Chain A
Amino acid sequence: MTASASSIEISGVTRRFGAATVLHGISLTIAANSFHCLLGPSGCGKTTLMHLLAGLDVPDEGTIVIGGTEHTRTPAHRRPTNLVFQSGALFPHMSVRDNVAFGLRSDGLKGPALRTRVDESLELVAMGEFAGRMPATLSGGQRQRIAIARALVKRPDVLLLDEPLSALDLALQLHMRRELKRWQQETGTTFVCVTHNQAEAMEIADEISVMRAGTIEQTGSAQELYAAPETRFVAGFIGENNIFTGPGPVIDGITFPTPAADGQVLTLRPEHLRLVEAGSDDSRGGVRVDTVGFTGRTIRAGLRTGTGRELLAELPAGTPLTPGAEVGLAFDAGHVYAVPS
């Protein structure tokens, strides 16, 4: 861990493009030496926020403080941040070594010192033997490793990653998630990663900010967001959820222990649903089994209420189920969360 890792303080940042406001007064503090994910669907403003952090864009209002120094209007080449682009953005006319050395050469470093730093960085991402290759001869995953090495070699206070894994195939993504986490821990750098993939964010981030339509809906650890979502959007976006809209206590034929207050919806995670004999004491309402899918550890069952609502249940493997069966739905009152709609 190095002492240079610093926190980011974003206060009241607003960005407009013409008549459209892309960010509405965002405020966010990111702890030093942490892995932070900006998570949201496309168009939520997460990439714009990242460009503001990188210095590729300037906010219309608000301030950005990085490592205790205000950098709201500092251009990209004078910031203690480095950005890894979604495409990698490797320079196609330079070898891997020259790509990684580019940033250090910009700072005036040369000779053996430059060589050592470049080699170290390439070793970190296990790409040492590719130093002489041209980017066009590398695979997508290798290119992305070089892009990360090229940014990390500058030892930035903050490493910004813009959808770094989205261009890779799923198996490689799963592997690279663990790698990213490892590099963050080994270098002690603050990582800020933009992604639309909630599974990715939950796996790699210490803290996640869920963004939607230019605002941050909620910030917290993956566990906090999952267990106690504060908004309907977070409840639906972080993990899978069944969301019930209506005054209650009976919604879609299911009887809830407590009715939803005004302006609230009730949520129930799929793994908290149980299926019981229709009409038994535990049953809170009748449903029909629509589909049954086996995933390995669990069975994912698509259910349909009497009103036609579709629900998802995640049941222990081995639960006997036949599509078309009429069963009763059960759950513990403690697993029902009311969130603002």
Chain B
Amino acid sequence: MRSRRLATVLVAPGTAYLILVFVSIVALLFSYSARSERTAALVAPVDWATWQNVLTDAYTWQVLTTTVLLGLVVSVLTVLVAYPLAWCVHTMRRPWQATTMLFVIFSPILVSVVVRTYGWAMLLRENGPFGSLFDGWLYHQPGVIVALVHVELPFAVFPILAAIRSVPPELGRAAADLGAGPLRRFLRVQLPLTMPGVLSGIQLVFALTISAFATPALLGGGRVTVLAQTIYQSIQQLQWPTAAAQAVLLLILALLVLTLFTGLARLVSGGRAAR
């Protein structure tokens, strides 16, 4: 009982901080989005014109579609790259090998987003170090995608690695013993049991991608516009209510997709949903 009370005391400040900040920001956003012009006074008359404009604007929908598609493509690609990497780390015999590998996977996070992005620009530029291999990638979708996959890889590798490590090794041996070849072992035993890790990897990467700003802005060359950029543009033009409405849209989008994936995770983990 005492340790419970202590835990409550320890957790309380952080929880209070998070709730306060989150709730007040969301409340402010909603409040701003329900005005027609920038105002510091929250008592200004409520006006849904901003929402009407944002929701009927074809450009907003186009940007929204780009954002969601980019999120889906990047999260799926990242997980496809991350799974073999996580598997590789898992099977490494010597601890220093795994540590080195994890450091390499983690490294993009250690580099400033601006530096990393210009690094990609140099790699992808025409007549760059890879010759004409990446011609047409820079300032287009592929360039943005490849750079986002790079930086978000660790967010997929770590949950997948944790999931792989939680599968008892004798399950794979049992499947082999029962006559399952490598492919069947992977598809019927390994993959279903690590699916929760894969899904949380997709969730994390998706949430990070749809809110990404610097990478699409710098590598998209104006051709790849995501929601975060239009929010920035709206603020630059002092259209605070529009920016707020777009931000709320982004938030709803993120919550929607996260809820969807949580449901999916519960579905694939089947009878073990309890944990």
Residues of A within 8 A of B (CB): 54-56, 75-78, 81-83, 85, 87, 89, 91-93, 95, 102-103, 106-107, 134, 136, 150-151, 154
Given the known interface contacts A77-B179, A154-B178, the answer about A93 and B173 at a Cβ–Cβ threshold of 8 Å is: no
Known: A103-B179, A154-B178. A89 touches B192 (CB 8 A): no
Query: Are A85 and B170 in touch, CB under 8 angstroms?
Result: yes
5 residue pairs, one from A and one from B, having the closest CB atoms = A103-B178, A106-B179, A134-B271, A89-B174, A76-B176
Q: A93-B192, A93-B193, A93-B272 are in contact. Are A77 and B180 (CB under 8 A)?
A: yes
Q: Which residues of B contact A55 (CB under 8 A)?
A: 176-177
**Is B248 positioned at the interface, with any CB of A under 8 Å from its CB?**
no
Q: Please, how many angstroms separate the alpha-carbon atoms of A82 and B130 in the complex?
A: 52
B residues 214-262 in Cβ contact with A at 8 Å: none
Query: Could you tell me if A56 and B176 are in contact, using CB atoms closer than 8 angstroms?
Result: yes
Query: Does B95 count as interface, using CB distance less than 8 angstroms?
Result: no
Q: Is the CB of A77 within 8 A of B176?
A: yes
Q: Indicate the member of B176, B178, B184, B271 with the most A CB atoms within 10 Å.
A: B178
Known: A56-B173, A93-B193, A134-B271. A106 touches B180 (CB 8 A): yes
Q: Which residues of A contact B192 (CB under 8 A)?
A: 93
- Chain A residues closer than 8 Å to B60, beta-carbon distance: none
Digit string of B163-202 for contact with A (CB within 8 Å is 1, else 0)? 0000010110111111111001000110011000000000
Question: Is B36 located at the chain interface by the 8 A CB criterion?
Answer: no
Q: Find chain B residues with CB under 8 A from A154 CB.
A: 178-179
Residue of A nearest to B184 (CB): A106
In the bound assembly, the distance between CA atoms of A107 and B178 in angstroms comes to 9
CB pair B177 A102 closer than 8 Å: no
Task: Say yes or no: is B270 at the interface (Cβ < 8 Å to chain A).
Answer: yes
Could you write out 16 A-B pairs with CB less than 8 Å apart? A55-B176, A56-B176, A56-B177, A76-B176, A77-B177, A83-B173, A91-B175, A92-B193, A92-B271, A93-B269, A93-B271, A93-B272, A102-B178, A102-B180, A106-B178, A106-B181
For B171, the closest partner residue in chain A by CB is A89
In the complex, which residues of chain B have a beta carbon less than 8 angstroms from the beta carbon of A82? 177-178
A83 with B171, Cβ < 8 A, contacts A93-B193, A93-B271 known: no
Across the two chains, which residue of chain A brings its CB closest to B185?
Answer: A77
Q: In the complex, what residue of chain A is closest to B193 when comparing beta carbons?
A: A93
Query: How many Å lie between the Cα of A151 and that of B180 in the bound state?
Result: 13
Chain B interface category by residue count: 20 to 34
Find the B residue at minimum CB distance from A95.
B271
In the complex, what's the smallest C-beta–C-beta distance from A225 to chain B, in angstroms?
30
| Residues on A with beta carbons closer than 8 Å to the beta carbon of B170 | 85, 87, 89
Compute how far the CA of A56 lies from the CA of B175 in the bound complex, rounded to whole angstroms.
11
A54 to B270, CA, bound (A): 31
Q: Which residues of B contact A103 (CB under 8 A)?
A: 178-180
- A136 and B176 CA atoms in complex are apart in Å by 22
A residues less than 8 Å from B177 (CB atoms): 54-56, 76-77, 81-83, 151
Taking the nearest CB of chain A, how far is it from the CB of B17, in angstroms? 38
Question: Whole-angstrom distance from the CB of B65 to the nearest CB of chain A?
Answer: 35
Q: Check A91/B184 contact, CB under 8 A, given A77-B179, A102-B178, A154-B178.
A: no
Asked if A102 and B272 sit within 8 Å, CB to CB, the answer is no
Given A89-B170, A91-B189, A136-B272; A102-B176 close (CB under 8 Å) = no
In the bound complex, what is the Cα–Cα distance between A55 and B171 (angstroms)?
15
* CA of A91 to CA of B271, assembled, Å: 12
Residue of B171, B179, B188, B270 with most chain A CB atoms under a 10 A cut-off = B179
How near does chain B come to A326, taking the closest CB pair, in angstroms? 56
- Residues of B close to A134: CB separation below 8 A: 270-272
Of the candidates A75, A93, A150, A151, which one forms a contact with B176 in the assembled complex, judged by CB atoms under 8 Å apart? A75
Tell me which residues across on chain A come within 8 A of B188, comparing CB atoms. 102
Q: Which of A87, A95, A107 is close to B179, meaning CB atoms less than 8 Å apart?
A: A107
Q: Which residues of B contact A85 (CB under 8 A)?
A: 170, 173-174
Which single residue of chain A is at the shortest CB-CB distance from B169?
A89
Contacts of B173 in A (CB 8 A): 56, 76, 83, 85, 89
Known contacts A93-B271, A103-B178, A151-B177; 20 additional CB pairs below 8 A are A54-B177, A55-B176, A75-B176, A76-B173, A77-B176, A77-B180, A78-B179, A81-B177, A83-B174, A85-B170, A91-B171, A92-B271, A93-B192, A93-B270, A102-B175, A102-B178, A102-B188, A107-B179, A134-B271, A151-B178
List chain B residues, Cβ under 8 A from A87. 168, 170
Shortest Cβ distance from residue B179 to the other chain A in the assembled complex, whole angstroms:
4
Residue of B nearest to A153 (CB): B178
List of A residues within 8 angstroms of B179 by Cβ: 77-78, 103, 106-107, 154
B270: A residues at CB distance < 8 A:
93, 134
A161 to chain B, nearest CB (A): 12
Closest chain A residue to B271, Cβ basis = A134
A82: min CB distance to chain B, Å: 6
The answer on a CB contact under 8 Å between A77 and B181 is: yes
Residues of B within 8 A of A136 (CB): 271-272
Cα A293 to Cα B189 with chains together (Å): 52
CB distance from A258 to the nearest CB of B (A): 51
Considering the complex, give the chain A residue whose CB is closest to the CB of B167: A92
Determine how close the nearest CB of chain A comes to the CB of B251; give it in whole angstroms. 34
For the complex, what is the distance from the CA of A95 to the CA of B270, rounded to whole Å?
A: 10
Shortest CB distance A84–B (Å): 9
**Within the assembled complex, what's the spacing in Å between the Cα atoms of A93 and B188?**
10
What's the Cα separation between A151 and B270 when bound, in Å? Answer: 24
* Residues on B with beta carbons closer than 8 Å to the beta carbon of A81: 177
